[in-house]
Homo-oligomer: A and B are copies of this chain.
Amino acid sequence: MLIKNGWVLTNRVEKKDVAIEGNTITELGKSLSGSEYIDASNHLVMPGLVNTHTHLAMTLLRGYADDVPLHEWLTEYIWPREMKLTPEDCYYGNLLGIVEMIRSGTTCFHDMYFHPDQAVKAVRDSGMRAVISCSLAEFGNRAHALDVLKTGLQFMKTIQNEPRIDTSFGPHSPLTCSPEYLLTVQDHARKLNKIVHIHLHEAADWIEKFSKSHGQTPIECLESSGFLGENVCAAHVVHATDKELDILKTHGVKVLHCPSSNLKLANGIAPVAKMIKKGVCVALGTDGAASNNTLDLFAEMRLMALLQKLHDPSAMTSGTAVKIATENGGSALKWNAGRIEKGFLADIILVDLKKACMTPGHDVLSNVVYAANSSAVDTVIIDGRIVMENGVLKTLHEDEIIEKAQEHAYDLVNR
C-alpha cells in the first residue's frame, strides 16, 4: 500500500510518499509507484497518537462523578460501581473507548482495568494496537494478591506472539501494594521482558501519607527496593523533587503524563518541561474517561503544552508536544511505533489540512498541537490496515457500539 502526495511528518514536514508492506513502513520517497494507494493530497501524514495510560472500560462512567477529589471520587463513586462490572460491560466500554480513540487519531493504548480479557477481545475485534495490563493490588492481603498475580500470569500466557497486542503487569500503586509485593511483580516482569504499569506520585496527600509511614517518598522507596527500571511506566508523577526526577532519569523510568485528569481531580500540574530537560522520557495519556472526560489525545497534547507555558511561553514547543504524544509513547510501550520511518510499524493518521482550524498553514505542527480539532483526522491506519477511511470506521459498527455501551452504562449505575 502507498500513501501518496501527503505532507509527511518525519523530523520535518515534507511532501513525500510512504510505502507500506504488511504492517511495516518500508520506504519514504518521491513518486513511489504501486497499484493500491491512498491519495493524501492536502493531508498531513503523521504517526498515530499513543495513549499510554487508560482505564478504557471506565468510559461507561464518563460524567458519572465530577467535582470531587481523588479519594472521594474513588471510594464513594467509582469503586462501588466497579464492584458491579460484568465482563460484557467491560467489552462494550472498551469498544466505545476505541471508537472515540480511532476517531481522534489514536492508534495504540496502554490499559489497566478489570476483565483485561475483554480489552483483549475489543482490541482483536477493532484492529487497534494495545498493551493490556493485568491489574494487581494488595490492600494488605499478600496471599490474595499473589493469587491474583498467578491468575495474571496465566492470562498473559494466553496472549503471546499475537499481532498488535502485548501484555504488561499493572500493580496499582505503592499505596495499595507493598514494596515487597511490587518487587515480586517486577521480578516476573524482568524475566518475561514485560512493562510494569503503575500509578506514581499522583496526589500530594497520598505521597505524604506514604512518606509518613515509610520514612521515604514512594519514588525514593521504590529506588531503594530495586523496583525502578527502564520497564517501569509510571502514570502521573505530578509531584517530584529535582532529586526524584534524577532518580527516574537514572533508572530510565517512563512517565505517563495525564494533564486533564491531574487538573480535574485537583492533583496539580506535572513538571513536564523540567522532566524533558533532565532527559526523562515522558509520554502522554488520557487516564480513564471518568476523570478526563475524553479520550482525545489532541485535546491532551494542547492542554499539556499550554500548561507548561503557565510561567514560561517557551517551555514547550509544538514539536516536543507531538514527539511526546507519538514517538515517546512508542518507546514507553516498547512498540516500534510513533515515527514515520522505514522499519517502523505502519500506525499512521491522515489529518485534513483543508479544514478551517488548520488554516493558514504557517506552522503545521503548531496547528496540530494548538488549533486542530481531532475531527480533522479522517483516515487511520493501524498495523498497515485502514481502520478509518474518510471518517468512516471500517472495522467496527459504530452506531451499534454506542447503543450497547449506553445500555450497559445506564444499567451499571442503576444496578
Contacts and interface: CB of A to CB of B under 8 A. Distances in A.
B405 A264 contact: no
A264 B361 CA distance: 19
7 contacts: A63-B370, A67-B309, A263-B309, A268-B310, A293-B367, A293-B370, A362-B410
Contacts of A406: 359-361
A123 to B, nearest CB: 16
Given A292-B370, A370-B294, A371-B289, A359 B402 contact: yes
A359 B313 contact: no
Interface in A340-373: 354-357, 359-364, 366-367, 370-371, 373
A306 B370 contact: no
A368 B398 CA distance: 20
Contacts of A73: 313
A363 B64 contact: yes
Interface residues of A, number: 66
A68 interface: yes
Interface string A284-323: 0000010011101001001100110111111001100000
Interface of A: 60-64, 66-69, 73, 96, 99-100, 103-104, 260, 263-266, 268-269, 289, 292-294, 296, 299, 302-303, 306-307, 309-314, 317-318, 354-357, 359-364, 366-367, 370-371, 373-375, 398-399, 401-402, 405-406, 409-410, 413
A360 B63 contact: yes
Contacts of A401: 356
Contacts of A366: 62-63, 66, 293
Given A62-B367, A64-B362, 6 more contacts: A63-B362, A63-B367, A63-B371, A67-B317, A263-B306, A296-B357
